Amino acid sequence: MLMSSDSRPLKFSLAINEALYQSMETDADVMLIGQGVKSPWYVGQTAHRLLATFGPERVIDTPVSENAITGAAVGAAIAGMKPVVVHPRMDFMFYAFDPMMNEAANWRYMSAGRAPCSVVFWGIINRGGEQGAQHSQALHALFAHIPGLKVVMPSTPFDAKGLLIAAIREPNPVVFIDDRFLYEITEEVPQKIYEVPIGKGIVRRLGTDVTMISISYGAHLTMKAAAMLADKGIEAEVVDLRSAKPIDIDLIKASVKKTGKVAVVDVGWRSFGISAEVSALIHEHCFSDLRRSVLRIALPDIPAPAARTLEKDYYFNEYDIAKNVMELLTPQ
């Protein structure tokens, strides 16, 4: 990725803040609504300086009522605004399913394309830290299942800024999901406003021995695993989907054709998740290129434990990914 002289190191959380600030600065219809957005340190400074700059009419701090907050944002979008509604713990987006799925997702279809619904549903994954089953869930597969919703999940500061700007400019509703485990990651990010296209993945690392496909924090871990595999003489190609819906099948097909062996890494549960969908797409589109069955690495189909000792077994890391891929490559 080439960077111009106007780039500088930026943390993931501050890249989100910059995307919001520049979008609101250039488009008076963009607004932010949600719990705690008036706080300057809110969620890793993602809402820093917004209230002071744009005022309480465009940065609306709300009571704890996810359904009402989201319904208000969808109504504002139908009226022509471009709201970003934030859910600091995406587990509680369950309360917002009706305005998201029944209204926003269907609005453009029901109006035969005449009435856009430009709204961003920003959900944050809060895995680990002994938060337990009700505060640790990654729900991207649920949203990706719904027609009318697009789902993006950045893994780098560059993509966090570019995907959020693209989501805000999109006439259809977009679910933007980030992971707090990524918030301290720093990368060179351009100061100018730019978009990362929705539905277009990226090859993070070139390789010929195996394709490793992931998204969000999983892509971060997969890059670490690929570096470990390289030390053992295994060159893994790392594909970061960036969008859970639509999925960049052309990028996947090109990589699978080259390597013939695939591991899919997902930060959500195994059953009916993104790993299952990507695996199915590969078998549908790339079956003749496969030399082994697709390996899936995902969370077990149980709620997240609260005890730190159990979390170590529940959440996989780069060592687990590398170990499983080594087994995939072992001759049978």
pLDDT band at 4 (very low <50, low <70, confident <90, very high): low
Q: Give the model's pLDDT for residue 38.
A: 85
Number of domains the chain contains: 2
Taking phi first (over 0 means left), then psi (-120 to 50 degrees means alpha), and beta for anything else, what does residue 216 get? left
The CATH code of the domain that includes 131 is: 3.40.50.970
Catalytic residue among 48, 87, 135, 140: 135
User: What is the torsional sign of CA 251, 256, 259, 265?
Assistant: positive
Q: Please state, in angstroms and as integers, the Cα–Cα distance from residue 151 to each residue in 18, 175, 176, 313, following that order.
A: 20, 5, 6, 28
Per-residue model confidence as pLDDT tens digits over 80-120: 999 999 999 999 999 999 999 999 999 999 999 888 899 99
Burial class for 144, CB neighbours closer than 10 Å (0-12, 13-18, 19+): buried
> Rounded mean pLDDT of the chain?
94
Mean pLDDT, residues 119-138? 91
Mean pLDDT confidence for 306-319:
94
Note down the domain range covering 162. 10-190
- Per DSSP, the three-state class of 174 is strand
Of the chain, the percentage scoring pLDDT greater than 90 comes to 89
User: Which segment, 31-40, 43-52, 58-67, 150-159, is predicted with the most confidence on average?
Assistant: 150-159
Q: What six digits make up the tokens of 33?
A: 């609504």
300: left (phi over 0), alpha (psi -120 to 50) or beta: beta
Token digits of residue 58: 């465009």
Whether 21 and 117 share a structural domain: yes
Of 2-16, 122-136, 137-151, 304-318, the poorest mean pLDDT is in: 2-16
Is pLDDT at 25 greater than 80 in this prediction?
A: yes
| Total residue count of the chain as it appears in this document | 332
Q: Are residues 152 and 211 located together in one domain of the fold?
A: no
Residues 167 and 37 in one domain: yes
Give 159-184 pLDDT, tens digit per residue.
999 999 999 999 999 999 999 999 99
Q: Is residue 3 part of a domain?
A: no
When comparing pLDDT for 315 and 46, which is higher? 315
CA distance 51 to 58: 8
Residue 1 has a pLDDT of 46
Q: Which residues contact 30 (CB under 8 A, 6 or more apart)?
A: 20, 23, 24, 58, 81, 82, 83, 84, 168
Note whether 53 and 133 are same-domain residues: yes
Local structure of residue 103 (DSSP, 8 states):
I
The pLDDT tens digits of the residues spanning 47-61 come to 888 999 999 999 999
For tokens 């029944």, name the residue: 102
- Residues 36-40: what's their mean pLDDT? 80
To the query of whether residue 283 is one of the catalytic residues in this protein, the response is: no
C-alpha span between 246 and 236 (Å, rounded): 24
Is the pLDDT reported for residue 128 higher than 70? yes
Q: What is the CATH number of the domain that holds 268?
A: 3.40.50.920
Q: Are residues 303 and 166 in the same domain?
A: no
Percent of the chain with pLDDT over 70: 98
Instruction: Tell me, yes or no, whether 71 lies in a domain.
Output: yes
Question: What confidence score (pLDDT) does residue 2 get?
Answer: 45
